[in-house]
Amino acid sequence: MEEEEWQQSLRKQSQSLDLRCVKTELELLKALVELTRSADPDVCLGWELRSRSWGFLLARARALGAEDLRKQLSRVPQDASSLPLPLPHSAAAQPVGPGQDPRTYESEMIAPSDLQLPGRLLLNVWRLLMHITFGAKLRSFAPQEAAKELLGRSFPYLPAGEVDRHWLKGCTGARLALLQHTAALANLSLEVSDALEIFPRAGELSTKASCMSKVEGPPAGEKTPESGKAELQDIIHQIGLGPAQIFWGILGGGIWLADGAELLLVSSVTRSLQSEWHLTSYMKGIIVSAVYLGILIGNYSSGPFSQRFGRREMIIASYSGIFLCGILSCVSASAFEFLAIRFVGGFFIGIGQPAWLAISSEVTPPEWRIAMTAAATSLFPLGELYVSFVIMTDDVTMQALDWRVLLRLGALPSLCLTALSMAFLNESPIFLAQKGRVKEARMVVETMARQNQTMPSSLSFKHPRVRQPDASLLSQMRRQMAVVFHKSLFVPTLVLMGTCFTVNMIYFGSLFAFPQVLPTLMHGHAASQLLVGALWELPGTAVGWLLGMYAPRRTGLKVYLIALSCFLLCFIIGVHDQQSKPLKAMLYIGYYGVKSTPNIAFIIAYQMSVELYPSEARTMGSGLCLACGRCAAMVAPMVYECIVGWTGGFLPFFVVMASFTVGNLYMVDLLPETSALEHDELKDSPEKAIHVV
C-alpha cells in the first residue's frame, strides 16, 4: 500500500491527537507512567497483550534496564516488586491452532502473571472477543473484521511490516497517519469492549482472575507519603468563617447584585421602549424574555466551562459581559438590536451564577454554607435598591423614563466588580487541587488562613486524584449529565428543578408585573413602592438564613410555600376594593409578602442544588436548576402579557401563580434532606463509572 493510498484510507478514521514529543525510549516510558497515574484507570485494555501493547512495553522496559516500570504502573507497588518483567521472546504471539476451541483461551482474557499490573484489571481484547463471540462465525479476530461484524463499519489496518516501512521512510505525513492509526485502534478496542458489555462485567472478570479491579490503598499499617494528611475540605473547616469568605461573598456573590440591577432595570424601561418604538405588548414581553433566555443558556453552559477554565474566570467574564452589554444596549437604534444585545447580556449573567454557587460551597465550612448563600443572595435586592434609587432621581411616576441614561448608570456596578474581581478574587482551592494545581491550591489556603487569622495544625492535605480532562466540552457535558441524572438522583433532580421553576415564575413574573401594575394601584408613588418592595426582600433573606441554619431543608421549603400562598391570597383579595382600609392593608401585606418570601426559596433551593451533587457535577447540577428557573423567568413576562390579553386584567396571573405554589407544596417530600448528605455516598454507588486507558 502506497503512502497516498494509506493516508486516504485513514482520512475518515482520523482521531484528534494530543502529541507529546520525547527524545528517548526511557522518557517515553516515563511519560506513559505519568499518564497512567494521572488517569488512574481501573481497567486497562490492549488488543493483543503479548506481542504488542502492554506486553511489548514491559518486555522493552526490561531490555532497556527499566526494571521498575511494572511497579510504577501498578496501584500496589509492593505486590508488583516480586513480579519479573517478561523477556522479549516471551512476547511473541501464539496463534490459535487449526480446529482449536477458542474457549480454551479463557485464561488469557485477563493478563497472565507475567503481564499483570497489580491493582488494575488488564484485559486482552481479542481473547475476550474469541471467548464471548465463540460460535458467531467471525472469519478472524483482527481489528478490521471485528469493526465490520460488530460495529458495522470499515477499519483500515496495516500489517506490522507495512507499519515499519512507512515509519522508516521518515515522511511527516506518513508518520502522522500511523499515529492516527494507533489512536483509531485504541478507540476501536474501547468500542468493541463497550459493544460486548465488558465493562459492566469487570467485577466478574476480576474474580475469575482472582484479583481486585479496584484497590483503595496500601495494606493496613503501611505508611505512604499521603498518610496522616487531612482532607482539603477538613482544613477549610478548621480555618473557619472570616474575612476570607467575606471577600469571596462580595467579589463572587456580587453576581447577584449585578443580576438584580439589570433585571429590574430592563423590566422598568419597557414602557419607555414601547412608547418610543411603538411596540406591541407581546414584543415588550419578548424583550424581557430574551434576557432570561440568555440566562438560561448561560446557566446550562456554565457547568462545563467552569469545570474546564475555573470558577473565577467565569465570574470575571460574567461581570465584564454584563457591563459591555449594558453600555451597548443604551445606543440601540431598534427594538431588535436592543433585544439581541440584552440576550447576550443575559448569557453573561447566566455563566456567573452556577460558578459562584460552586465556589461558595467549596470555600465555606459546612455549617456556614447556608449563611454564605443568604448573604450573597441579599445582594440581589441591593441591586434592585440601586436601580430604584436611580429611577426615582429620573422620574418618580415612572411615566417618562430616560432609558438610555438609566442603562448607562445600571452598568456601573458591573464595571466596579470586574476591576475588583480581577485584582482580588481567588480561585476555589478544591477546584485547583482537583486540576492538579496543588501549589496554587496551597497558596489560596494559606491566604485564607492568614486573612481569618486562624492557622490549622497543618496546611498539607491529601492530593485528590487528578482526572484526565475530557477531549471536548461536549464529552464533559455528557459525563456531568450522567451524574446529575443518575437513577439515585433522577427524581430529586426533577423535583428540585420544578421548585426552582415555581419560585422563579412567581418572583420574576411579579418583577415584571409590579412595575406595570403599581402605577394604577398606588397613584403617584409607584417608584417609591418599588424601593420599599426591594427593601422587604431583606427580611425574607434573613428568614431564609434562619430556616437554613436551624431547620431541615424540606421544612424551610414548606414554610416558604405556605407563606407565599397566604400572601398571594391577601394580594388577590386586597386588589378588589382600594377604598376599604382592611382590603388596602391586605393589598400592601400581600405585595410586601410576595416580594419577600421567594428569597427563602432562593437560599434553600439553590443551596440544595450544590449539596445534592458531588463536586465533579456540582456546577452542572446547580446550573440545571438555575437554568430551569431562568426558563420560568423567560416565559413569565409572556405568560403575564398573554393572560392580560386574554382576560383583560392582571388578577388572573396571580391566581395562576398561587396554583403553582400549592402544587409545588406536594412535591417537596420527594426531596432528600441534603444538609446531612455525604457526596462520597454518591461517588461510591454500585454503578460507579470505570476509568479506562
657: left (phi over 0), alpha (psi -120 to 50) or beta: alpha
What per-residue confidence (pLDDT) applies to 489? 83
Give the CA angle between residues 78, 80, 82 to the nearest 5°.
Answer: 90
For residue 83, what pLDDT is reported?
52
pLDDT in tens, 513-541: 887 787 777 766 777 777 788 788 888 88
CA distance 482 to 145: 32
Q: Round to whole Å and give the CA distance between 201 and 109.
A: 13
Give 110's strand partners: 123
What fold is seen in the domain 253-424+474-683? Growth Hormone; Chain: A; (1.20.1250)
What is the model's pLDDT at position 160?
Answer: 66
pLDDT of residue 471: 47
Residues 6+ apart with CB under 8 A from 14: 180, 184
Residue 533: partners with Cβ closer than 8 Å, 6 or more residues away: 514, 591, 592, 595
Give the per-residue pLDDT at 396. 73
pLDDT of residue 682: 40
Residue position matching grid coordinates 506481542: 51
> Would you kindly state where each structural domain of the chain is located, as residue ranges?
3-208, 253-424+474-683
- Contact yes or no for 692/44 (Cβ under 8 A): yes
CA pair distance 597, 561, nearest whole angstrom: 8
Residue type (1 letter), 533: G
User: In CATH, what number does 3-208 get?
Assistant: 3.30.420.10
Cell 506518513 belongs to 174
pLDDT tens-place string over residues 549-572: 888 888 889 999 999 999 999 988
Are residues 553 and 675 in contact, defined by beta-carbon separation less than 8 angstroms?
A: yes
Count CB atoms within 10 A of the CB of residue 111: 25
- Which portions of the chain are predicted below pLDDT 70? 1-18, 49-52, 76-115, 126, 129-142, 144, 146, 149-153, 155-161, 170, 194-230, 456-473, 475-476, 523-524, 578, 615-616, 675-693
Contacts of 69 (CB under 8 A, 6+ apart): 29, 33, 57, 58, 61, 85
pTM equals: 0.53
